[in-house]
Structure 1
């Protein structure tokens, strides 16, 4: 099981908490913004100022699922649901399956 550091507290995290933090980082990172890893991230930041309509939802779902499949090999996304759009961006509920053991989880990012 992968371990990491909580980016807010500096404490050790693992399991679903680590996955949730990793996925949030992937989704909030604009493609091209990491100097040593230009392709890393998602297209989600490009959609932030768009109108919240059906096209926006479909593009968000594609951006989220595609980025998770590409950058988070520990899980497979099964469902992406847009919960709300806040001042800091969209909030998603994700149903994921951990590839190592088939365990399912629901997270919010």
Structure 2
């Protein structure tokens, strides 16, 4: 496994975090050969914060991770530090092969950074 930023070798956990970042920050329909890949998060990130948006955010994160990242089973997820164009995803999961509990803190940047 290789880091998409440095080209260096990374651990399985870092690869999972990198994969989740890619899934969540990729708009659905933007991949030519995989139109269904990605999430609706890019469409939601700049909307006014309210209870309905929070529910949409959780759904827009959980569903694509469940579909596209089969190396983990999600136990819980929490969204924090939501600001214009970014958020922090705190994810508790279990590695499906090893059974190892994972605590993943994933910063998500949308758009240009």
Q: What TM-score, normalized by structure 1, do the two folds share?
A: 0.90
The residue matched to 1:11 in structure 2 has which SS? coil
Query: 1:83 and 1:31 mapped to 2: Cα distance?
Result: 23
Gaps of 5+ in 2: 107-113
RMSD: 1.1
The equivalent of 2:98 in structure 1 is 101
Q: What TM-score, normalized by structure 2, do the two folds share?
A: 0.87
More contact order relative to length (CA 8 Å, sep ≥ 6): 2
Query: 1:88 and 1:9 mapped to 2: Cα distance?
Result: 23
The residue matched to 1:13 in structure 2 has which SS? coil
Query: Size of the alignment, in residue pairs?
Result: 106
The equivalent of 1:78 in structure 2 is 75
State which drifts further: 80-89 or 40-49: 80-89
Gaps of 5+ in 1: none
After TM superposition, what 4+ stretches of structure 1 lie above 4 angstroms from structure 2? none
